Each structure stands twice: as C-alpha cells, then as structure tokens.
Amino acid sequence: MEKDVLILAIESSCDETAAAVVKNGREVLSNVIYSQIALHTEYGGVVPEIASRKHIEKINQVIEQALKDADKKLSEMTAIAVTYGPGLVGALLVGVSAAKAISFAADLPLIGVHHIEGHISANYIENKELEPPFLCLVVSGGHSHLVEVKDYGEYKIIGRTRDDAAGEAFDKVARAIGLGYPGGPKIDRVSKEGNSDAVHFPRAKVGNAEYDFSFSGLKSAVLNHLNSCQMKGEEVNTADIAASFQKAVVDVLVEHSMDALSRYGYKKFAIAGGVASNSSLRKAFEEACQKEGIAFYYPSPVYCTDNGAMIGAAAYYEYRKGVRHGFDLNAVPNLKLGERL
C-alpha cells in the first residue's frame, strides 16, 4: 500500500489567514481559518497594509492550530504547500515566508500553489468521484473565469471578465445600497426578501468573445437606478434591487457556462470561489444542469471562500507530478493560471 501523503497547506493571499492538513488530496484533517473581515468592514473593503500586518500576527498560531486539530506533528508531514499568487503581494509574502521557513527547518519539500487552482481543487474534497476533465466556473472577489480542467494541474481559460470580477460587483453594489462589506453574503441574504423581477438590469455580452464576462455596466446600471430614484424622490427598495442585481449576475453566469458546456461537450461541471456559495447561483445551476443531463459539483460554503484545505488538495496533485519549489519561491501577485515559476 502506498504511504499516505500529508500536506500542511497555507493560504494568505487576501484577508483570510488559513492553514490546513490534507491527506491524499481529498481528506481534510483540519482547516483553520482566521477571517479578517471584521477588521476591514469599517473601511468598506480590504486594506492591503492591514491585511499583511494581521497575517504576520496570526500565521504561526493558525498553523499550530491546524496541526493540533489534525492531531499530527510537523515531523509527520510529507510536504508543505503555500499559495504564491495571485493576490496581494504583502499578504502572499507572509504565507510564502512562513512556508519557506518551515520547509527549511523541518526539511519538508515545498510546493507553491496557484490560488485559482486551489479554488478549483476545493471540489475534490467532498466529491470523491470527481476527476478531470470537466468545465469549471471560478467566481471570486478577484476572478471570473470559465476554465477547462483538462487534467490535474492542466487548465485552459476559455472565458474571463473584461472588467470587474463577479464578487467585486457584489461588493460594490452592496456598498452602494448600504449593505456594507462583504457584499456577497449580504446580497444573498437580503435577496430572499426581494422581487428579482422588480428592476430589469442589463445582461452584458462581450462582442466577439462569447464566454467573456463584463460586470461594470451592470454595476453602473444599479448606480443609475439609485440616482434616478433619489432624484424622483422615490423610495428605494433595497431587497428588490439586491434580488434584481443578483438575478442579472446569475443569468449571465448560467447562460455562458451552459453554452460553453454544450459547445465543448463536457458532461461534468463545477463551480468554485466565494461567489459559488451564492444560494441563488447554486439553485440556478442545479436546475440548468439537471435539464441538460450534466453532473453538477460544488464545494460547501466553507471551501468556496479562501481556505487552506483547497490549497492542500491542489498541492497533492502537484506533489504527485513531482513539482517542488526552491527557497527562491517568491510571491507573484499576477500569477497566471497554468504558469509555473
């Protein structure tokens, strides 16, 4: 029998300080997340300098807790993995430096992981039968990508956002209608009390790139609607606007994904990233995929937003491929998916 591969994985690319212990890529032994959301809320978004400082304060504690929760010692680990991009450079550097120090001190192989590869791999944790090839929609605060997952670690992006990411649109609209940061979960909640047909917001198409997304026009349409209500002295119904905006985002994401699934002939579809925890998006995909006979996969909300377990899942397949990084591993804020440095 092959020896178990135990990976200690670190994630610090944005505002979550996270570490996890993952066994053989799919079994999460621990998953510790220190969320900085409360700290950034009063600024209406993530403040990079504050994020880096808090990561420094918390990282050792979070790593120790991950080992403790897994009931494992550092000496029992097979490798150490860390997100090295994309993300906020100062935030990434904290995780990368911690991982390098542990790799050196405990003599463990070091594996740098792409953050989006982590999000996609979150699907492997609870869907033991899921294997590539499949199509994946990655929708987070920084990314909106339609990705062909051709094999483990082999990706082709067939659609991307031209401006705002889906999560960014949620956050900006939430701020405009007074819900605050982070917008996604708040809009999700408030929308349940609203009428999604109350206001018709535009569903943007991007000229010659049919799988690309554009959300900035939608955001402007919401702002214009708010302004015009104000000028006319009409009362603004927050729940209706939230629900109508959310419906516009969901419609575009579903339409693009279903078109791509049919064009490329995939029978398996997964979603990933913070926005993938949106209840209305999940429901819409469940219905659309069922109608088309496509198997639909999604992670639990805790594995949708940033976490260490997803990095451990991705790292396992990189480890199996023989990927190892040296102590010259650096944070790469604009790392491209599929690119190896």
Q: CB–CB of 240/195 below 8 Å? A: yes
- CB burial string 160-190: b at 16+ within 10 A, e below: bbebbbbbbbbbbbbbbbebebbbbbbbbeb
- Determine if 117 is a binding residue for Zn ion (CB under 5 A): no
13 close to 84: Cβ distance less than 8 angstroms: no
Nearest CB to ligand KG4, comparing residues 6 and 55: 55
| 308 contacts ligand KG4 (rule: CB under 6 A) | no
Least distance (Å) from Zn ion to the CB of residue 119? 6
Judged by CB under 6 A, the stretch of 35-43, 66-74, 90-98, 135-143 that binds ligand KG4 is 135-143
Min dist CB 81 to Zn ion, Å, is: 15
- The length of the chain is 341
Contact between 141 and ligand KG4 by CB under 6 A: the answer reads: yes
Q: How far apart (Å, rounded) are the C-alpha atoms in residues 52 and 304?
A: 22
Residue 305 binds ligand KG4, judged by CB under 6 A: yes
Residue selected from 85, 90, 118, 142 as contacting ligand KG4 according to rule CB under 6 A? 142
Least Cβ distance, residue 49 to Zn ion (angstroms): 19
Q: Which does 167 bind (CB under 5 to 8 A by kind): Zn ion, ligand KG4, none?
A: ligand KG4
Q: Is 139 exposed, middle or buried (0-12, 13-18, 19+ CB in 10 A)?
A: buried
Select 67 or 116, whichever has its Cβ closest to ligand KG4: 116
By a kind-dependent CB cut-off of 5 to 8 A, residue 275 interacts, out of ligand KG4, Zn ion, none, with: ligand KG4
Interface of this chain with ligand KG4, residues 155 to 174, rule: CB under 6 A: 167, 170-171
Q: Is 31 one of the binding residues for ligand KG4 (CB under 6 A)?
A: no
- Name the nearest CA neighbour of 306 among 170, 184, 140: 140
**188 or 318, CB closer to ligand KG4?**
188
| Nearest to 67, CA basis, from 133, 127, 7, 132 | 7
Question: Nearest distance from residue 263's CB to ligand KG4, in Å?
Answer: 26
Which single residue is written with the structure tokens 């790139």?
A: 209
Total binding residues toward ligand KG4, as defined by CB under 6 A: 19
The burial class, CB within 10 Å (0-12 / 13-18 / 19+), for 111 is buried
Asked whether the CA dihedral 339, 36, 307, 327 is positive or negative, the reply is: positive
Q: Would you tell me which residues interact with ligand KG4 (CB under 6 A)?
A: 14, 140-142, 167, 170-171, 182-185, 188, 273-275, 277-278, 305-306
Q: Would you tell me which residues interact with Zn ion (CB under 5 A)?
A: 140, 306
